[in-house]
Structure 1
């Protein structure tokens, strides 16, 4: 065995959204760290209760879309994000979560620092949570 760490335990899964290729008649797949990164995005973008067979899967952020981005709401959003990742992504350890509101553009950037279990490699994921829906409407 070479010096490369065996990362096969991280798994392989479909890319999201699923992308099918005619050239080789298959679906694009993600492996190892890319699969973990994609999984985090899926967890954060899925509303709790949205998956029929997994009613607890997801992160219940949608009720905060029109709420003011004050300290208590940001703290609650960070708590919800951390609990969702701890519960649904066992391949990572969430080290820290920090949020930066951009009131002018209606975005709360949620910066997640995490490491992958066993490899102890540190990563960063920034999730743009939009505070205002339908922001492309002319004023």
Structure 2
């Protein structure tokens, strides 16, 4: 018997927040899209950025210009794993792998996770830009 009621996953504002002038409402996300949005918000928030939640986020920003060698990639994988385990109680993090692409200045962070109550597996790829300049010549 399949679980059809997924209200336990919650409802949250879309990010960035979008307001509807005609109905005076905010666009909302429900179920799996809300969890996915939460993961993206966690990964893109610097730890300490939110004053009321000082431990919320994933402190990737200091590593933007790091050399992507094996120890640094392993450290980033651990930072991402710990941030998701600590900040997103609706998921079980199965694995976090990171693959550097030096030609494009990006570190692809692949997250395999399961939503706890539905036992549904998902994959999320977060592009962490190693070189944050916009005028890079190749």
For the 8 Å contact 2:3–2:118, the answer to whether it is kept is no
Cα displacement (A) at 1:3? 5.0
Partner residue in 2 for 1:120: 119
Find the residue that maps to 2:39 and give its secondary structure. helix
Partner residue in 1 for 2:52: 53
Equivalent residue pairs, number = 137
Partner residue in 1 for 2:77: 78
Cα displacement (A) at 1:118? 1.0
Which ranges in structure 2 are unaligned for 5 or more consecutive residues?
A: none
Partners of 1:18 and 1:81 in 2: how far apart? 24
Cα displacement (A) at 1:13? 0.5
- Which of 120, 128, 137 in structure 1 is aligned with 2:135? 137
Partners of 2:12 and 2:51 in 1: how far apart? 20
Partners of 2:121 and 2:130 in 1: how far apart? 28
Cα displacement (A) at 1:27? 0.8
Partners of 2:68 and 2:13 in 1: how far apart? 34
Sort the Cα spacing of 1:3 and 1:61 in 2 relative to 1 into closer, same or farther, 3 A.
Answer: closer
Sort the Cα spacing of 1:59 and 1:112 in 2 relative to 1 into closer, same or farther, 3 A.
Answer: same
Cα displacement (A) at 1:22? 2.3
Partner residue in 2 for 1:8: 7
For the 8 Å contact 2:64–2:131, the answer to whether it is kept is yes
Runs of 4+ in 1 over 3 A off after TM superposition: none
Which ranges in structure 1 are unaligned for 5 or more consecutive residues?
A: none
TM-score of the pair, normalised by structure 2: 0.95
